[in-house]
Structure 1
Amino acid sequence: MIWLRPEQAPVGRPAERSRREITAAAVELADREGLDAVSMRRLAATLGTGAASLYRYVATRDDLLDLMTDSTAREYRLSAPSGDWQADLLEIAHQARQIMRRHPWLPVLVVTRPVLGPHGIDLLEHLLDVLADHPADPAHKLEAFAVLNALTALFVQNELAASDPSSQRRSSYLRHVAAAGTHPRIAAMVAAAQPEHTSHDRFATVLARALTGVLG
C-alpha cells in the first residue's frame, strides 16, 4: 500500500515535493474539472514539472486516487463522544455528506474503491470510540462504518444527479405512469410522497434505520 512505502527512494536526488503537496494539487484539479481530468501528465503540468518526475513519489494513478480519497478524511472535525451513539454517528454522516458535496468526484471512489489510509484510520477509531459501549460485536461495528460511508456516498450521488435533465425526465415519466392508473402501487407511492420532507430529513431517517439494523 502507498502508505507503507517511503515517500522517496533512499537514493537519488533530494525530494522537491511531498506526497501531500501532490495530493492537494490532484484534489484541486478533480474539484475543478472532474476525476477524468486527473492524469499523471495533467497533474505534472499543473505542478510545473514532468510526468516522469511524479513517479518518484506516486507509482501509479491508482495510488494517487487512494491518496486523494484518504486526504478528504482530514476535513472531519471529530468531537468527543456524547454518549448518544446514534446522534454521534449521524454527525459523522452529515460531515461526510458535506465533504462529498465539496468534492463531487469522491462518492464514486468511496463506492467503487474504498480505501483506509491514515486519515481514514483516525475516522474509524473515532467511530469505534463512539460505539465503545454498544453491545454489537466488532464485525458489526465495522459493517456500520462501511454502511455509513456507502449510503452517504450513494445519497450524495443521487443529490448531484437530481439536477441532471435525465433525472428530471425520469421523475416526469414516473408521475405520468402514476397518473395513467395502470400501476396502482406506484400511483399510491407517488400520492403518499411527502414533499415537505427535506433531503436532510430523508438522509437522517434512512441512515438511522440502516445503522440500527446493522448494529441491532
Structure 2
Amino acid sequence: MRLELDNVSIHYGAIHAVRDVSIDVASGSVAAIIGANGAGKSTIMRGIVGLVPLSKGEIRIDGRVITNLPTEQRTRSGIALSPEGRKLFSEMTVHDNLLSGAYLRRDARAIRDDLDMVYALFPRLTERRQSLGRNLSGGEQQMVAIGRALMAAPKLLLLDEPSLGLAPAVIHMMAGAIRKIALTGVTVLLVEQNSHLALSLSQMGHVLEGGRLVRSSPASDLLHDEDLKRAYLGDDPLVVK
C-alpha cells in the first residue's frame, strides 16, 4: 500500500504542530520519520489514522483520498497503528489483547492464521498468552502492541516509538521482527527517537524539525551524514544490520 501525505498541516488549538509536510512512502517499503521530541512525529501518525483532523492537505492510500474518512474506515482500508505507550487493555490477557486487534474482521480462519503468525513472530507471547496486560514487561507489552496491530491484517503498519524504554537485547529482537513483517509485503512507517535504529531498518528517512519536513533522503545517506549525526544521531552505536 502506497501512502502519500500532501502538504499536511495539523493544529492542536492554537499550536501549529505539523506544517506543510509531504511524504511519499512506496508500497512494500519501510520508511522512518525522525526528529527531536516534540517535532510532530506522533502527531503525523495520529493524523494518518484519523485520530486528529488535518488543518490542511491530503492523505492518500494507493491514490485514494482518505483525509475525511473516520478511523474505522481507515482501519478497514488496511491501516493499523501500534501507538506510542502501547496502550494495552491491562485487565485482559495477552490472547484477548491480540484478538481485540481483529474486531472489525469476520474471517475466522484467517484470524486464526494471523494469530498463529503473531505467536511465531513473538514466541515469548506463546508462553504469556494467559497473562494479564498489566503483568507484562515493557518488551512483552510492545510485542503485544505490534501483534495487536498485525491482527487487523494491515497493508500499512504504523509503528510509533516501538523501542521506547526497551533494553538493547529486546530492541534487537524487535528490529528483527519489523524486518520480518516488511518481508511479507506490508508497508511500514516507523517513528522513532532512536534514529540509528529507525534508519537502519528503513529505505527512506524523513527528518522533522518543529513540525516541518526539512529533509527526505535514502536512509543510508542520512546515517552517514555528518551534520545529521551531530543534530540527531549522537553517539548511539545501535544500528541493526
Is TM > 0.5 for Structure 1 vs Structure 2? Answer: no
Point out the structure with the larger helix share: 1
User: TM-score, normalised on structure 1?
Assistant: 0.28
Point out the structure with the larger strand share: 2
Higher relative contact order (CA 8 A, sep 6+): 2
User: TM-score, normalised on structure 2?
Assistant: 0.26
